[in-house]
Amino acid sequence: MKKPFVEKCLSFASVSVILALWYIVTKLNLISGVMVPSPQKVFEAFVAILNDGYKNISLLEHLAVSLKRLVIAFLLAVIVAVPLGLASGYNAKIRALFEPIVEFFRPLPPLAYYTLIVLWMGIDDSSKIALLALAAFAPIYIACVSSMQLVKKSYIDSALTLGASKRQLFFYVSFPACLPGIFIGARTALGVAYTTLVAAEMVAAVSGIGWLVLDASRFLRSDIIFMGIFLMGITGILLDQVVRFVEDRVVFWKGYD
């Protein structure tokens, strides 16, 4: 759904005010440049790394490595969590079987069990993908269970009255009604997975945008740190927009009842 013009102006104004305050504070030297670099220094760091790379790895490679880990883990989580969540929402016995397991590891910080995953799978991409998939699994699973349980009884009764079979009831009534909730869970899971990715790269990695920020912090390169944070935020927004784009095409009836 597109934003109205007034809302776009308000969003642009809020970002502009923040950037202006940042420029003024650094221009007047109200805060040490080591703590908060100026916008110009951050931009110069971005241009330098874009041209020369960081630690013999180009900026695009750092981003590509992080995005590859994130996308693979997210797709794995969707493939597993969506059918399992829908089945759990549809059948109380299946839910009773899996819900205690999900509720146990859902509140655990991913980095709490990351050491075990590294011990089991090594420090290469497989351990990071497994960690991200586990982090993204719970939000999608819970959204699917809740969506299935909230399908309106009137929809089901109407379909049964028309002679729908159980298979038709699921694929033509229950599943479409769950799609808005599934996409909400997917967007939440994507954000959780991205946050976990950055943390994982800070613990055991030699590439990726999270590792770049951590390595720059060792040398007090706040300009590179700010640049990395901006890149994380921008790529996170773009990824969310991709999911919302797909949602608008798949769930085109959202908002109508």
- pLDDT (tens digit, 9 = 90+) per residue, 81-101? 999 999 999 888 999 999 999
Measured at the CA of 232, the angle between CA 137 and CA 204, to 5 degrees, comes to 65
Q: Is the pLDDT confidence value at 142 over 90? A: yes
pLDDT category of residue 135 using cuts at 50, 70 and 90: very high
How much is the mean pLDDT over the chain?
A: 87
Name, of 75-79, 98-102, 160-164, 197-201, the range with top average pLDDT. 75-79
Contact 194, 52 (CB under 8 A): no
Structure confidence at residue 47 (pLDDT): 93
Structure confidence at residue 256 (pLDDT): 52
Structure confidence at residue 255 (pLDDT): 56
What is this structure's pTM?
0.85
Residues sharing a CB contact under 8 Å with residue 113, sequence separation 6 or more, in sequence order: 105
Contact 249, 238 (CB under 8 A): no
H-helix or E-strand spanning residue 184: helix 175-203
Nearest by Cα to 229 from 242, 216, 244 = 216
Nearest by Cα to 180 from 106, 94, 95, 246 = 246
What's the DSSP call for residue 251? Answer: S
Structure confidence at residue 3 (pLDDT): 64
* Spatial distance between the Cα atoms of 16 and 7, rounded to a whole number of angstroms: 14
Q: Which amino acid, 159? A: A
What is the per-residue DSSP string for 40-98? Answer: HHHHHHHHHHHHH-BTTB-HHHHHHHHHHHHHHHHHHHHHHHHHHHHHHHH-HHHHHHH
Q: 205-257, pLDDT tens digit by residue?
A: 778 888 888 888 888 889 999 999 899 889 989 999 999 999 988 887 765 55
Contact 160, 169 (CB under 8 A): yes
Name, of 7-11, 124-128, 159-163, 176-180, the range with top average pLDDT. 176-180
Nearest by Cα to 72 from 109, 127, 144 = 127
Structure confidence at residue 43 (pLDDT): 92
Q: 31-50, pLDDT tens digit by residue?
A: 887 788 989 999 999 999 99
* Spatial distance between the Cα atoms of 46 and 60, rounded to a whole number of angstroms: 11
